Amino acid sequence: MDHLAHDERDPNPWLALYLDDSIPINPTTKLALMRDNASKSVRYLLPFIATWSKITMFFIHVFKYFFPRGFNSSRILHRILAWGLKNFVSPDANLLIFRHFHVGTEILQFIAGNIPGISLVGNPLKPVDFESVKEDLFLQHDLNLYNFVINLNKQLKEKGLTIRQPDSINLSMISEDQFDHITFPKKWTNILDLRSAIELFTPFYQLFLTSNDFIRASNSLQLDETIAIYTSQILGTPGHLGLVNNKHPMVPETTYSAAYRLVLHGLAAETLHEILVKMKLSTFRDGIITPNMQPVVD
């Protein structure tokens, strides 16, 4: 992404997006995503892998209809995922995948920590290596999201509360992590881009999980809108809702589009997290600021 190599007769679209700052996103994430988009894997492998993925998912769907309990094993699934990530996925794509769990955890912690009268005990997911993946990481991520929405709204209804701007906003759980503390493999086999990896892994996800688990995982992507609304109610700034593309959770999408929507889900989480990071960087102490963005001082 060297802007000095810009050719006006053949401009690089990913360089344009890398230099553009209209969408808030972590700089390390942005560089990894643009390099991932520009990779040979996207150009030459993704079309074939995406086609194979959808055909395979169709036959697995038929198989699951007749044998709904066949091959159900989250443990085997996550061992396959850990092995695949370690041996075939590029460092940039692995960075984007691992960062997502950290970012998602902190966003849920932010919401829970800024609704007075609510007490939520979650299951933070911040993987540090490929062994962490084997602990049902991907499945637990989906469960966390649904359990969060259910438990939050049960408490709101039981206590007669609503989500609103608190007197001060707590950002202490939001980290400025550039995610440079994990070294991802760079073997000659580590070539798969993010979308190819997701397309490749999705049929395995469908095969080794129950139908309920797989459908729930697919539908959870549209909860991006729900989480964004919660955040906007806390911040009083609905403008960032325009950055959400996975919308309308009460009208679910087909599972065949899950891979593409998963990438959009990751981007939505990254942009929301970066908004919170920028807010935190504008404070003077302890990550506590008022809703009108004025820092609390002694």
CA distances for 54 relative to 35, 47, 259, 263, angstroms: 25, 11, 10, 16
Residues 233-264: tens digit of each pLDDT: 999 887 777 778 898 999 988 888 988 999 99
Amino acid residing at 214: F
Residues 138-171: tens digit of each pLDDT: 999 999 999 999 999 999 999 999 999 999 999 9
Helix 194-208 to helix 258-281 angle (10° resolution) is 120
Q: What is the pTM of this model?
A: 0.90
Q: Which has the closest alpha carbon to 136: 80, 192, 212?
A: 80
Query: What b/e readout covers 105-127, taking b as 16+ CB neighbours within 10 angstroms?
Result: bbbbbbbbbbbeebeeeeeebeb
Residues 35-61: tens digit of each pLDDT: 999 999 999 999 999 999 999 999 999
Please, what is the Cα angle at 26 between 49 and 198, to 5 degrees? Answer: 15
Residues 45-104: tens digit of each pLDDT: 999 999 999 999 999 999 988 888 778 899 999 999 999 999 999 999 999 999 999 999
